[in-house]
């Protein structure tokens, strides 16, 4: 079958193109690696589509001031599969900025010669499975079509911006930005009254930066959030070289230790006195990053009393930092620390000591409406020139639902996922043969270092494709039974922790009407071992079909 494909590389000008082996949607970390692995390691023909104008995925879109990896990142928030790539890139700081990560992905795209197979500025509007031909056909916003046996959805776990439907919001006539869709042109806060709604990772990163130049910044907070000091610092070359010298060991440790190369503490809180525990918390706080959460004592995310003690320690730090006691009171979180995404901050709480920053607690005075020039709460009218929505994403499932592929019998993903996000291994969906997700619902996603998690997932997808090819099979599909068991497993792991007791985007609780379901596998290392076992056992939990025709 020959299809009309218009785009970059050899497809330019509308000439006929061969059917592809695989189509990849998205050119972030996951999509770029999928292109490289399937094309260069397996020898498949691959075309990538991305609605953005360049590589980067989330790092292309999230360019708000202060955007950084929300973990002590470098050099581990990066591809691990190629020592040459590792050696060729010097990370300047321990917590990489958005600009650095984007530059890194551009470097990777150049080094691996990826761009020639990526069609940018191309939004996929439809994706349909053809049962007889055993392939997927995608359609672009410009009406072009392309087909492939396999559809790899690297569409991003945090892609679809959540824009709250607040009364009158469309009547506001000032500038409006969403942190997840920040413009490429510079945005000036100089001399402006700026409102930020949202105090998650994005809000906490943007607020200190905006406050530096805004005339006045008013933060509208619905839920006060915990944050730990990032302690970002320059990364000396010698330190980086030491990591590189043991790269393979570090890589192996990351896979077996939940995404981080370093072991976590074996200390038990019950073996220490109250004074010793406080001293330990101080030590971990001084080290910064995630240390307090993962290395003070075992079980902060599973043991209620221990979690409450650590939470109270951090509340104490907020009280110490924020000078105005009334503002400090409003900033005190009342959930289990770590059960919303743990945020690393760079001067967030100190920002409230500036004379040009004030905080509105939406629990005490909810927004009633926007006017053309202000936000009106139940208590006051706040005149503003600019609105910054740091209100997050329809996470994990949102980008797949935006694509809304149609599987067997034309069933749409929106129908299939109307009440539950059913997947097997977080990567396959019954009734959607030959479709694979990277970081889908039920995968470790953000609970593992995402670039490495993407690599491991794509390697497994590659193994699955190779298996089909060598066995002359045309299609593979998860069974509904394996989806049910997988869901039970995911929910069972989460139920053993404090996570389900907090409303968060991990549970879909940030989006009105979204089914409540824990969206991630909390033990990435077990998960990737499991993927290998499934493959070793001939792709247990899947059903396959013989190829309906010859494959090239």
- Report the alpha-carbon distance of residue 323 to residue 331 in Å, rounded: 12
Q: Among residues 310, 293, 234, 254, which one has the least CA distance to residue 81? A: 254
Q: Give the contact letters, 265-294, x = binds to ligand N01 (CB under 6 A), - = no.
A: ------------------------------
Q: Does 103 bind ligand N01 (CB under 6 A)?
A: no
Q: Which is nearer to ligand N01, 140 or 225 (CB)?
A: 225
Q: Does 361 bind ligand N01 (CB under 6 A)?
A: no
Q: Does 199 bind ligand N01 (CB under 6 A)?
A: yes
Residue choice 95, 202, 351, 443 for contact with ligand N01 (CB under 6 A): 202
Nearest distance from C-beta of residue 36 to ligand N01, angstroms = 23
Q: In the structure encoding, which two tokens stand for residue 247, read together?
A: 């790269």
Residues in the chain: 552
Residue range at the interface with ligand N01 (CB under 6 A); choices 145-153, 202-210, 368-376, 411-419: 202-210
Q: Does 5 bind ligand N01 (CB under 6 A)?
A: no
Q: Does 390 bind ligand N01 (CB under 6 A)?
A: yes
Number of residues near ligand N01 (by CB under 6 A):
26
- Report the alpha-carbon distance of residue 139 to residue 306 in Å, rounded: 52
Q: Does 227 bind ligand N01 (CB under 6 A)?
A: no
CA-based torsion, 20, 26, 29, 32: positive or negative: positive
For residue 342, the number of C-alpha atoms closer than 13 Å in the C-beta half-sphere is 22
Residue choice 80, 149, 201, 377 for contact with ligand N01 (CB under 6 A): 201
For residue 418, the number of C-alpha atoms closer than 13 Å in the C-beta half-sphere is 4
Q: Does 28 bind ligand N01 (CB under 6 A)?
A: no
E strand or H helix at 60, and its extent? Answer: helix 58-61
Residue range at the interface with ligand N01 (CB under 6 A); choices 35-43, 200-208, 236-244, 246-254: 200-208
Residue range at the interface with ligand N01 (CB under 6 A); choices 303-311, 387-395, 465-473, 490-498: 387-395
* Look-up of token digits 């209100």: 391
Backbone angles phi, psi at 369, to 5 degrees: -165, 160
Residue choice 94, 119, 155, 223 for contact with ligand N01 (CB under 6 A): 223
Assess contact for 404 and 521: CB atoms under 8 A. no
Q: Give the contact letters, 312-351, x = binds to ligand N01 (CB under 6 A), - = no.
A: -----------------------------x----------
Assess contact for 531 and 542: CB atoms under 8 A. no
Q: Does 158 bind ligand N01 (CB under 6 A)?
A: yes
E strand or H helix at 357, and its extent? Answer: strand 357-361
**Interaction residues for ligand N01, span 504-543 (CB under 6 A):** 505, 510
Residue choice 32, 114, 360, 446 for contact with ligand N01 (CB under 6 A): 446
CA distances from residue 102 to 21, 84, 438, 524 in whole angstroms, order as listed: 28, 19, 19, 25
- Report the alpha-carbon distance of residue 320 to residue 4 in Å, rounded: 64
Where on the chain is the footprint of ligand N01 (CB under 6 A)? 67-70, 158, 164, 179, 197-203, 205, 222-223, 341, 362, 390-393, 446, 505, 510
């Amino acid at each position: 079958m020959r299809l009309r494909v218009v785009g970059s590389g050899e497809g330019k000008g509308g000439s006929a193109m061969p059917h592809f082996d695989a189509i990849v949607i998205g050119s972030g970390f996951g999509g770029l690696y999928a292109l490289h692995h399937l094309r260069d390691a397996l020898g498949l023909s691959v075309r990538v589509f991305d609605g953005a104008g360049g590589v980067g995925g989330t790092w292309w879109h999230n360019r708000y001031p202060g955007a950084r990896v929300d973990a002590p990142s470098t050099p581990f928030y990066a591809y691990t599969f190629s020592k040459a790539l590792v050696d060729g890139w010097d990370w300047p700081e321990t917590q990489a900025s958005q600009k650095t990560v984007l530059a890194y992905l551009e470097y990777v795209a150049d080094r691996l010669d990826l761009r020639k197979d990526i069609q940018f500025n191309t939004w996929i509007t439809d994706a349909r499975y053809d049962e007889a031909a055993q392939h997927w056909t995608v359609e672009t916003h410009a009406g072009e079509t392309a087909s492939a046996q396999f559809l790899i959805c690297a569409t991003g776990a945090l892609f679809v911006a959540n824009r709250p439907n607040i009364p009158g919001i469309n009547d506001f006539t000032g500038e409006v930005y969403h942190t997840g869709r920040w413009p490429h042109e510079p945005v000036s806060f100089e001399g402006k009254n700026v409102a930020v709604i949202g105090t998650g990772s994005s809000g906490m990163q943007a607020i200190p930066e905006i406050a530096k130049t805004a005339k006045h910044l008013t933060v509208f907070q619905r839920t006060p959030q915990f944050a730990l000091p990032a302690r970002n610092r320059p990364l000396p070359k010698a330190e980086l070289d030491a990591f590189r010298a043991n790269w393979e060991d570090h890589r192996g440790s990351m896979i077996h230790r939940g995404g981080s190369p370093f072991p976590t503490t074996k200390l038990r809180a019950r073996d220490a006195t109250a004074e010793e525990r406080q001293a330990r918390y101080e030590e971990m706080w001084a080290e910064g990053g995630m240390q307090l959460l993962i290395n003070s004592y075992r079980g902060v995310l599973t043991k209620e009393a221990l979690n409450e003690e650590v939470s109270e320690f951090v509340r104490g730090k907020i009280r110490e930092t924020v000078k105005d006691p009334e503002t400090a009171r409003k900033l005190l979180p009342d959930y289990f620390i770590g059960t919303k995404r743990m945020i690393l901050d760079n001067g967030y709480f100190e920002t409230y000591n500036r004379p040009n920053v004030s905080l509105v607690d939406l629990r005490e005075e909810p927004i009633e409406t926007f006017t053309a020039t202000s936000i009106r709460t139940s208590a006051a009218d706040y005149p503003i020139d600019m609105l910054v929505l740091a209100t997050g994403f329809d996470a994990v499932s949102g980008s797949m639902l935006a694509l809304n592929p149609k599987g067997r019998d034309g069933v749409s993903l929106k129908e299939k996922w109307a009440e539950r996000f059913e997947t097997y291994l977080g990567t396959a969906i019954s009734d959607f043969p030959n479709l694979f997700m990277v970081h889908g619902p039920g995968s470790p996603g953000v609970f593992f270092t995402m670039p490495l998690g993407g690599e491991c997932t794509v390697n497994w997808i590659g193994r699955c494709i190779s298996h089909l090819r060598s066995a002359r099979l045309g299609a593979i599909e998860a069974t509904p039974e394996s989806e049910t068991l997988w869901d039970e497993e995911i929910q069972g792991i989460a139920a053993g922790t404090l996570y389900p007791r907090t409303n968060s985007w991990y549970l879909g609780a940030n989006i009105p009407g979204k089914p409540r379901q824990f969206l991630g596998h909390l033990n990435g290392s077990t998960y990737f071992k499991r993927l290998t076992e499934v493959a070793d056992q001939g792709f247990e939990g899947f059903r396959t079909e013989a190829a309906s025709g010859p494959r090239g």
